[in-house]
Amino acid sequence: MRSGLGTIAVLIFLILIFIIIYIIPIIVAHVRNHPNKLAITVLDILLGWSVLGWIGALVWACTNPNGRSQN
């Protein structure tokens, strides 16, 4: 019986880690107060399951929308 609980705990832990990794672009966009954070959130939710959608959302969240370098 205990091994069943351990398996469930590991499964829940892995799901939480996956969710955190999945929403990294959303977190980055909101922390940086990106002006397109809503669009980045939608892109990540709808296309984040594909690796290209997730990478695209992350790159977009990391870009400087003003075009100026930050010092």
The pLDDT score that the predictor gives to residue 37 is 95
Summarised one tens digit per residue, pLDDT across range 22-66 is 999 999 999 999 999 999 999 999 999 999 999 999 999 999 877
The pLDDT score that the predictor gives to residue 41 is 97
Binned at pLDDT 50, 70 and 90, residue 4 comes out as confident
Domain with 42 in it: 22-71
- Residue 66 tokens, joined: 């003003």
Asked if residue 57 belongs to a domain, the reply is yes
Asked if residue 13 belongs to a domain, the reply is no
How far apart CA 66 and CA 71 sit, in angstroms, is 13
Asked if residue 17 belongs to a domain, the reply is no
Handedness of CA 40, 42, 43, 45 (dihedral sign): positive
Asked if residue 52 belongs to a domain, the reply is yes
Asked if residue 1 belongs to a domain, the reply is no
Our count of domains for the chain comes to 1
The pLDDT score that the predictor gives to residue 69 is 63
